[in-house]
């Protein structure tokens, strides 16, 4: 199965809450379900807490790289670009994730509770943090995430249980934020690079089916070619052309799985204008020709 998250043109994730008046969601993601075992860059206004249930994940918050393994947890602050991928040498990676905005726990952003216990995190330079499984200072945060995981949505007063446990999770997160001297991921104080990368990725995702040059990408955000290459090195550890090809190939793989379109239509729709080149790099990435790949899934 291949799944993906839903984002708008600015890479903001559309978190689909069952009840929009109760913005609280939990997910268990199996990275083998994602194309290329990758959860692509996205962002949202909600806080995000994840617990690694199995395997290893290479995780990026803005341009900061961290690796997390079974028993570790990751917090992503509001409005931060983030992505994850299962490394080639890892067993199946699964993660349990909790998301909610400040409005779940405090409605008035001008009130005393918001000012004391939410604003300090939202207004700080904190991108997020990783708590390793063997770090006792993060036990309460990890345990609070697992308490939410154990909730059964058929239990009595489920929503009240969620509110109670989300409040506990934020209390322990705020305590960890206030007390911790290490493990925090701080951005430089200037979010220019992350905002620029959002626009670059948005441009590519909107135009991948057409011819795109590095100059086109650079001009879309008014930067030089050299700075464009630096952006991709900083966030992706690959060149712009490598990223474009990888993105196009992932789109082609999805079409081969989900549709009966001809291979010619697939590669053309995904921005390739040469059948032999498409087949060559597709086989390099997926260890099968497009036709073989379609038969395997």
User: What average pLDDT does this structure show over 199-221?
Assistant: 94
In this predicted model, what pLDDT tens digit does every residue of 216-261 receive, in sequence order? 999 999 999 999 999 999 888 889 999 999 999 999 999 998 899 9
Q: What percent of the chain stands above pLDDT 90?
A: 71
Q: What is the pLDDT of residue 282?
A: 95
Confidence grade of residue 279 (pLDDT, cut at 50, 70, 90): very high
Question: pTM score, two decimals?
Answer: 0.85
Q: What is the pLDDT of residue 10?
A: 73
Helix (H, G, I), strand (E, B) or coil at 122: helix
In this predicted model, what pLDDT tens digit does every residue of 104-146 receive, in sequence order? 999 777 789 999 999 999 988 899 999 999 999 999 999 999 9
* Residues 13 and 6 sit within 8 Å (Cβ to Cβ): yes
∠ at Cα 191 (78, 173), nearest 5°?
30
* Burial of residue 74, with CB atoms counted within 10 A of its CB: 0-12 exposed, 13-18 middle, 19 or more buried: buried
Per-chain mean pLDDT for the chain? 90
Q: What is the pLDDT of residue 183?
A: 66
Conformational region of residue 200, where left means phi above 0, alpha means psi within -120 to 50, and beta covers everything else? alpha
* Residues 234 and 19 sit within 8 Å (Cβ to Cβ): no
* Phi, then psi, of 239 in degrees rounded to 5: -80, 165
Q: What is the pLDDT of residue 2?
A: 45
CATH class of 192-296: mainly alpha
Q: What is the pLDDT of residue 190?
A: 59
Ranges of each domain in the chain:
25-186, 192-296
Helix (H, G, I), strand (E, B) or coil at 294: helix
* Residues 132 and 72 sit within 8 Å (Cβ to Cβ): yes
Residue 63 or residue 133, greater confidence: 133
In this predicted model, what pLDDT tens digit does every residue of 187-199 receive, in sequence order? 655 578 888 999 9
Q: What is the pLDDT of residue 4?
A: 55
pLDDT > 90? residue 212: yes
Residue 96 or residue 64, greater confidence: 96
Three state DSSP letters for 236-283: CCCCHHHHHHHHHHHHHHHHHHHCCCCHHHHHHHCCCCCHHHHHHHHH
pLDDT > 50? residue 1: no
Q: What is the pLDDT of residue 297?
A: 67
CATH of domain 25-186: 2.60.120.280
């Amino acid at each position: 199965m291949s799944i993906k998250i839903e984002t708008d043109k600015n890479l903001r994730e559309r978190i689909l809450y069952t009840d929009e008046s109760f913005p609280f969601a939990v997910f268990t993601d199996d990275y083998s379900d994602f194309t290329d075992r990758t959860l692509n860059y996205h962002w949202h206004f909600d806080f995000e807490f994840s617990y690694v249930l199995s395997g290893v994940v290479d995780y990026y918050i803005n341009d900061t790289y961290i690796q997390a393994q079974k028993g570790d947890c990751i917090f992503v602050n509001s409005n931060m670009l983030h992505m994850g991928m299962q490394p080639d040498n890892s067993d199946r990676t699964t993660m349990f994730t909790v998301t909610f905005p400040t409005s779940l726990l405090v409605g008035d952003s001008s009130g005393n509770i918001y000012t004391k216990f939410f604003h300090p995190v939202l207004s700080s330079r904190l991108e997020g943090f990783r708590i390793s499984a063997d770090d006792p200072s993060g036990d309460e945060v990890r345990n609070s995430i697992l308490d939410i995981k154990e909730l059964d949505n058929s239990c009595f007063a489920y929503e009240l249980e969620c509110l109670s446990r989300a409040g506990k999770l934020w209390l322990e997160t705020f305590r960890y934020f206030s007390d911790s001297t290490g493990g925090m991921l701080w951005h430089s104080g200037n979010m220019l690079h992350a905002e620029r990368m959002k626009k670059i990725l948005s441009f590519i995702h909107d135009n991948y089916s057409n011819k795109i040059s590095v100059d086109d990408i650079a001009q879309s955000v008014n930067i030089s070619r050299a700075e464009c290459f630096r952006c991709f090195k900083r966030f992706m550890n690959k060149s712009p052309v490598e990223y474009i090809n990888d993105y196009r190939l992932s789109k082609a793989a999805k079409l081969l799985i989900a549709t009966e379109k001809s291979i010619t239509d697939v590669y053309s729709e995904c921005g390739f204008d040469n059948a032999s080149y498409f087949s060559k790099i597709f086989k390099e990435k997926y260890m099968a020709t497009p036709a073989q790949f379609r038969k395997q899934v």
